[in-house]
Amino acid sequence: MSRTVAIEGGGAFAVEPGEIVLDAAERQGIELPHECRAGNCGTCRVKVAEGQVSYASWPSALSEAEAACGFALACQARAETDLVLRYERVAYTEPSRQSALVIDVAPLAPDIVQVQLVLPDLERLEYRPGQHVNVFLEDGTHRSFSMASPPQGNAIDLHIRRIANGRFTGGMLAQLQAGDMLDVEIPLGTFHYHPEDERPILLVATGTGISPIKSIAQALMEDPDCPPVALYWGMRTKDELYLHDEIPAWGEKLFEFAYVPVLSRADASWSGRRGHVQQAVAEDIGDFSEYAIYLCGSPNMIHDAKALFLARGAQPAHVYAEGFSFQRHEAPAATLS
Ligand SMILES: Cc1cc2nc3c(=O)[nH]c(=O)nc-3n(C[C@H](O)[C@H](O)[C@H](O)COP(=O)(O)OP(=O)(O)OC[C@H]3O[C@@H](n4cnc5c(N)ncnc54)[C@H](O)[C@@H]3O)c2cc1C
């Protein structure tokens, strides 16, 4: 028997037995936020206001505590009953396909480059700090990258890690140079700064997960009601900490700013914190119940951080996370007949 999925505020669609909620929505022409389609990035997290969902296998980007609070991942969830889904009531700028001109490609660290783009057809690009852009490849698949700066005219900065054997980051990126054009869709994603959440802010990033966190931190610098901000940044080695010299100066504009870099493969010369970044946070903070927590980077870090922090009082509604998973490249699940 098919089930009905209603979206609070408007819209409804049918979902067939065994069908994934996101696939059913797309089949009926309804756009729901999503990215990796594998339950790893968390972009499709939604509150189930009424009804029950199930999973064929538990998605890594959803903790049991979040599920107990009614959150679900639309890209993995199946409807066990009729559902009412509650999406955040924030005004997002409608994404659009654009041509992007490459202004500069410059190394930031051994395997990380900065790509600066402008969107010549837009005078000004509005987005929420933390959101991302999708870059399309010739085969129609796309790769996601977060803006590393808040809105600034029609320019965007990306911080991209090269993945060995990665088609875009390991191949095409090496050829990319000023003057090239990219086909992009922007702005996208549900991970962003929440100015309405006035709790002390805990920012936790691994690797290039610092990119949207930097964008969020820069937005906080302009916020006259900026709450206390703590940033933990996990990397493997010191030479990868490409913003290490810049970040302490953020304290001039952020309220009660604390910055803690944590290295998992530091050599003997490193006198700072060692190990996994989420462990360092858990060593320093006993009770997470009063924090607004932003997690970005490795899906494993996010999975472990959620387990640690939620067990110590973090509130699922105040945990905002984005896992930098890689994209599923095949087409979405076939339409049910
Ligand atoms: C919402 C979102 C935002 C993102 N923002 C950023 C960003 O700002 N900066 C950034 O550097 N990355 C970011 N990523 C990750 C980035 O999109 C992927 O690393 C990228 O798509 C890889 O593309 P590729 O063509 O090089 O690799 P592909 O050819 O797609 O992948 C080839 C193989 O490489 C491995 N691989 C690819 N990506 C990863 C990864 N991230 N981690 C581990 N293994 C991987 C997998 O084994 C995969 O099968 C983001 C991801 C998401 C979902």
Give tens-digit pLDDT for 196-222: 999 999 999 999 999 999 999 999 999
Q: What angle do CA 15, 21, 27 make, to 5 degrees?
A: 65
Find the 327 Cα to ligand 1 centroid distance in Å: 7
Lining residues, ligand 1, CB within 6 Å: 35-36, 41, 43, 132, 143-146, 158-161, 163, 165-170, 189, 208, 211, 322, 324-327
Find the 135 Cα to ligand 1 centroid distance in Å: 12
Give tens-digit pLDDT for 127-139: 999 999 999 999 9
Contact 125, 151 (CB under 8 A): yes
H or E element that contains 232: strand 229-235
- Of the residues 161, 163, 165, which should be mutated to test ligand 1's pocket, given the most ligand atoms within 8 Å of the CB? 163
d(CA 135, CA 185): 7
Is the pLDDT at 273 greater than 80? The verdict is yes
d(CA 40, CA 44): 10
Residue type, 325: S
Is the pLDDT at 333 greater than 50? The verdict is no
Find the 324 Cα to ligand 1 centroid distance in Å: 6
Q: Give the pLDDT score at 89.
A: 80
Atom of ligand 1 nearest to the CA of 35: 53
Give tens-digit pLDDT for 1-12: 899 999 999 899
Residue 200's CB: how many other CB atoms inside 10 A?
Answer: 14
Q: Give the pLDDT score at 330.
A: 54
Q: Where are the beta strands (DSSP E) in 74-218?
A: 78-79, 83-86, 96-109, 112-118, 132-136, 142-146, 155-161, 181-188, 201-206
Average pLDDT score, the chain: 95
Chain centroid to Cα 198, Å, comes to 20
In angstroms, what CA-CA distances link 71 with 44, 57, 85? 10, 16, 9
Banded model confidence at residue 13, pLDDT cuts 50, 70, 90: very high
Task: Specify the residue with its C-alpha closest to ligand 1, atom 52.
Answer: 324
d(CA 252, CA 273): 23
Find the 133 Cα to ligand 1 centroid distance in Å: 13
Find the 274 Cα to ligand 1 centroid distance in Å: 25
Atom of ligand 1 nearest to the CA of 40: 53
Q: Give the pLDDT score at 261.
A: 98
Is the pLDDT at 334 greater than 50? The verdict is no
Task: Specify the residue with its C-alpha closest to ligand 1, atom 46.
Answer: 326
Q: Give the pLDDT score at 241.
A: 98
Q: Give the pLDDT score at 329.
A: 61
Task: Specify the residue with its C-alpha closest to ligand 1, atom 34.
Answer: 166
Task: Specify the residue with its C-alpha closest to ligand 1, atom 21.
Answer: 143
Residue (of 21, 20, 62, 65) closest to 41 by Cα position = 62
Find the 172 Cα to ligand 1 centroid distance in Å: 13
Burial 90-105 (b: 16+ CB within 10 A, else e): eebeebeebebbbeeb
Find the 129 Cα to ligand 1 centroid distance in Å: 20
Task: Considering only CA atoms, give the Rg of the chain.
Answer: 20
